[in-house]
Chain A
């Protein structure tokens, strides 16, 4: 089956620093990638939809200047959390959509901001 990877899997950083998370589709080209935030025992919260070669579409309430998304190629999207604060600590999960609307999820990145 299709594989989506995320890197890093876990990151710990100091408050005020920026963190970049990569999401790659390893064996297919993904025209659309999604970024989610996962809180314990809660639904995945969609943050933004990323289309290759165009600006990301952010969900209401998500600051686009704080969560920078770049979808540079059909296999790579990056999420940069700028000036991270402890309240940004969470699991960030990406998914990639293949043709026929198949969606494949990455394993997530656990961000801890001290």
Chain B
């Protein structure tokens, strides 16, 4: 059965800390892996990863995919209170998405 697992489920850090969020998957017909940030309403797109070992970076956020070990990590450096959110990982197949349950990140001032 296809599945996507995120860890940890929740995380509380202080401003300035660096965090690493994990997403592992077991799916057939993998196409891509996507990361989203969800604050209040709809998840906001962060990254789409299709190739192994190529880091994608946007400001303090970066992500990388390992297709051999079937996981991805999302790194956030120098965290700020505005980074507090649920971070969702989703794996896209040809006609479906599988979402993880998310990691709830709280950044304390």
Residues on the A chain within 8 Å of B95, using CB: 9-10, 108, 110
- Compute the total of residue contacts between A and B using a CB distance below 8 Å: 43
Q: Contact flags (1/0) for A12-53 with B, using CB distance below 8 Å? A: 000000000000000000000000101001111110000000
8 closest residue pairs by CB, A with B: A105-B99, A46-B42, A107-B96, A43-B45, A43-B44, A108-B97, A44-B42, A44-B43
B97, A43: Cβ atoms closer than 8 Å: no
Number of contacting residues on A, CB 8 A? 22
* Interface residues of A, dominant DSSP: strand
Overall SS of chain B's interface: strand
Sort chain B's interface into a size bin: 10 to 19
Q: Is A90 an interface residue (CB 8 A)?
A: no
Q: Which of B35-82 contact A (CB under 8 A)?
A: 36, 38, 41-45, 48
Enumerate chain A residues within 8 angstroms of B41, measured Cβ to Cβ.
Answer: 46, 59
Measured in the bound complex, the distance between the Cα atoms of B86 and A104 in whole Å is 12
